[in-house]
Amino acid sequence: MIHEKVMLTDVTGRDGFQMEDWIETEEKIIIINEIIAAGVKRIEATSFVSPKAVPQLKDAKEVMKHINRENVNIIALIPNVKGAEFALESSVDEVNVVVSVSETHNRKNVKKSVDESLEGIIEIYRLVESAGKKVNVGLATTFGCPFEGIYEVNRVTEVMKKLTANGLSSFMLADTTGMANPLQVSNFIKSLKGAFPSTDLSLHLHNTRGMGLANILAGYHSGIRSFDASLGGIGGCPFAPGATGNVALEDVAHMFYQMNIPIDPNLTKLIRAAKKLEEVLGYKLPGQVMKAGLSTDLHQA
């Protein structure tokens, strides 16, 4: 059976690096270029946000200038029009904006109400679309919020309604602090696909409670073909208590590879990049395949 390709988007440079102590710009560029060299076709490389809110990424402009832009779509996360203008000046291919389904998390993250964020996103969309670039909306805390708990899918539907009515059509369902379970993922996707049949949905899942791969698989079986992940499984939201890393990119790649589902990156090169990142960060990363090797790598008897 020939399977449809799965798009893996690397978020190491943004979601990953925003959770680390300061990493030198040159080292960031080396890591991102390794990820590109491994064949990843979409990368969220940085964010153009307030340097007071996320000082770890205050070098966004420099990073954008020096990464290898061939054969890859580079995305930057932005919180407002100012960020959109910076991102366009740096010739991003796409921008990611973010709004939380949870009112409390949204205020912690961007100091605005959900409604204010939605208005801001619509304004950003007009600006970025007129520049011919794509806008994707990350729906943080889709599957539950560390402050407000788990909610019904209609909370997500309400947020999406206002945005789709204004032309936005690409959404990342984000499990910011790993509260999702596979059944919930399937149920939410079924409802959202039913309510918004012509939108593109992708999944941005954190592995906070070890359910990341199971949730990705549930998403895959529900028809999702686009997933975010980060090298070695680093990352998290600085404005959500208990947040930890994404699902490790090389672990996700390994799972799809084993299932004969086509993906772009080369697994061996991804593992090499994850090991390099581990050296740069100086601590053991949570990724598992980078420690165990490929399941097809045999040992001497």
Position 117 contacts ligand COA (CB under 6 A):
no
Q: Is 237 noted as a catalytic residue in this protein? A: yes
- The site partner of 164 among ligand COA, Zn ion, none (C-beta below 5 to 8 Å per kind) is none
Stretch that binds Zn ion, among 14-22, 46-54, 65-73, 161-169 (CB under 5 A): 14-22
Among 98, 135, 203, 274, binds ligand COA (CB under 6 A): 98
- The site partner of 141 among ligand COA, Zn ion, none (C-beta below 5 to 8 Å per kind) is none
Is 289 exposed, middle or buried, given 0-12, 13-18 or 19+ CB atoms closer than 10 A? Answer: buried
Position 47 contacts ligand COA (CB under 6 A):
yes
Catalytic one of 95, 173, 237, 252 = 237
Q: What is the DSSP string of the chain?
A: -PPPP-EEEE-IIIIIGGGSSP--HHHHHHHHHHHHHTT--EEEEEE---TTT-GGGTTHHHHHHHS--TT-EEEEE-SSHHHHHHHHHTT-SEEEEEEESSHHHHHHHHSS-HHHHHHHHHHHHHHHHHTT-EEEEEEETTT-BTTTB---HHHHHHHHHHHHTTT--EEEEEETTS---HHHHHHHHHHHHHH-TTSEEEEEEB-TTS-HHHHHHHHHHTT--EEEEBGGG----TTSTT---B-BHHHHHHHHHHTT---SS-HHHHHHHHHHHHHHHTS--S-SHHHH--TT-PPP-
Q: What are phi and psi of 173, to 5 degrees?
A: -85, 115
CB of 88 or CB of 218, closer to Zn ion: 218
Position 237 contacts ligand COA (CB under 6 A):
yes
Position 15 contacts Zn ion (CB under 5 A):
yes
Stretch that binds ligand COA, among 19-27, 75-83, 127-135, 181-189 (CB under 6 A): 75-83
Stretch that binds ligand COA, among 80-88, 203-211, 222-230, 286-294 (CB under 6 A): 80-88
Position 135 contacts ligand COA (CB under 6 A):
no
- The site partner of 80 among Zn ion, ligand COA, none (C-beta below 5 to 8 Å per kind) is ligand COA
How many residues sit close enough to ligand COA to count as binding (CB under 6 A)? 22
Stretch that binds ligand COA, among 35-43, 50-58, 161-169, 210-218 (CB under 6 A): 50-58
Position 243 contacts ligand COA (CB under 6 A):
no
Binding site for ligand COA (CB under 6 A): 18, 47-54, 77, 79-80, 82-83, 86, 98, 109-111, 140, 237, 239
Residues with catalytic function: 237
Contacting positions for Zn ion (CB under 5 A): 15
